[in-house]
Amino acid sequence: MRHILTMGTFGRVSTRLAGEPQDVPFITCFSSGPWVRQHSGRVLSVPGASTSDGVKLTQFSNWGVDNERWLLESTGDGYFTVRARHSGKCMDVGGASTAAGANVIQYTCNGSNNQRFRLVPSNNGHFALQAKHSNQCLGIAGASMDDGGFLVQSPCAWTTNESFRFAP
């Protein structure tokens, strides 16, 4: 069962779908807002508002447009898919790579583990995204501060380069 989550807070709820009650993690975000990178203050973006598969995700100055806005969808197992609001496509570690430095792209949603991410609270209301298939965290290549820095996976170091916050 999938749930699309919109506005609220981070926490846990108890639910009873069938059988015994289950403690289910939930997180909500401002579905109309950008995700701001802690280290650079830039937002996660699909360049040029492309709707094509395979486009590498970047950070960019906040223009307040839909290709900078993201929706979380619970997969029911503590992980989430992340959809670009403008295209409906999913955040995806390209080719299901487990290599450090693999690019994160936009791709048609297919439910695979390289499209599932866990939100790990870091500091000051920020979170890290950890890929289910590789257990690696997402950050900007080389910790670039510039527009156009590519989003990649790498072993979790729990730095500000891996942290983001939901903005209104």
- pLDDT (0 to 100) of residue 68: 95
- What distance in Å separates the CA atoms of residue 55 and residue 104, rounded to the nearest whole number? 8
The per-residue pLDDT for range 92-139, each reduced to its tens digit, is 999 999 999 999 999 999 999 999 999 999 878 899 999 999 999 999
> Structural domain of residue 69, as residue ranges?
3-166
- What distance in Å separates the CA atoms of residue 101 and residue 51, rounded to the nearest whole number? 23
- pLDDT (0 to 100) of residue 166: 85
- pLDDT (0 to 100) of residue 168: 76
Q: How far is CA 148 from CA 42, 97, 107, in A?
A: 10, 22, 19
Q: What is the domain-level CATH number for residue 148?
A: 2.80.10.50
Q: Domain total for the chain?
A: 1
Of residues 10 and 92, more confidence is placed in 92
- Going by pLDDT thresholds of 50, 70 and 90, the confidence category of residue 63 is confident
- This prediction's pTM: 0.82
35, two tokens: 């995700």
The mean pLDDT value of the chain amounts to 84
151, two tokens: 């989003």
Where do the H-state alpha helices sit in the chain?
Answer: none
- pLDDT (0 to 100) of residue 125: 85
- pLDDT (0 to 100) of residue 33: 67
